[in-house]
């Protein structure tokens, strides 16, 4: 059976199993940037800007790069990619990130 290479950005619900490479074939790197993975979470962080000292400890600990930094200042979360793991909440020494159950 001949398989056609389908770029990862083109994967969707309508793509059939016959249209992708056999399991285990890696053709390109995957990245959360191409997928909205934020709807997986059940808990959600909240950024309290007034308490933030811009130490940026939260930024490198985020496994999904969901904490944008602009001009050396952290911004609010990128909830399109945040999976709600809570690492940022745990690492913040100033209480600038709260952790709540997400209401959908």
CATH number assigned to the domain with residue range 8-101, chosen from the 4 options 3.40.50.150, 3.90.600.10, 3.90.1010.10, 3.30.70.20: 3.30.70.20
- Short-list 77, 75, 79, 85, CA closest to 43: 85
pLDDT at 2 over 60: no
Which pTM value belongs to this model?
Answer: 0.67
- pLDDT for res 22: 60
pLDDT in tens, 19-63: 665 655 656 666 666 777 788 889 999 999 999 999 999 999 998
Closest-CA residue to 5 (of 15, 31, 33): 15
Does 17 score more than 80 pLDDT? Answer: no
pLDDT, tens digit, 9 for 90 and up, residues 82-91: 999 999 999 9
Residue 14 confidence (pLDDT):
73
Domain ranges of the chain: 8-101
Can you give the pLDDT at residue 93?
96
Dist. CA 54–CA 42, nearest whole Å: 27
């Amino acid at each position: 059976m001949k398989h056609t290479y389908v770029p990862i950005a083109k994967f969707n619900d309508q793509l059939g199993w016959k249209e992708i490479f056999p399991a285990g074939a890696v053709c390109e790197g995957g990245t959360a940037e191409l997928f909205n993975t934020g709807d997986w979470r059940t808990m959600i962080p909240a950024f309290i800007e007034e308490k933030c000292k811009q130490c940026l400890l939260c930024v490198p600990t985020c496994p999904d790069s969901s904490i944008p930094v602009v001009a050396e200042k952290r911004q609010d979360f990128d909830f399109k990619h945040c999976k709600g793991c809570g690492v940022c909440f745990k690492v913040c020494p100033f209480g600038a990130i709260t952790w709540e159950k997400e209401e959908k």
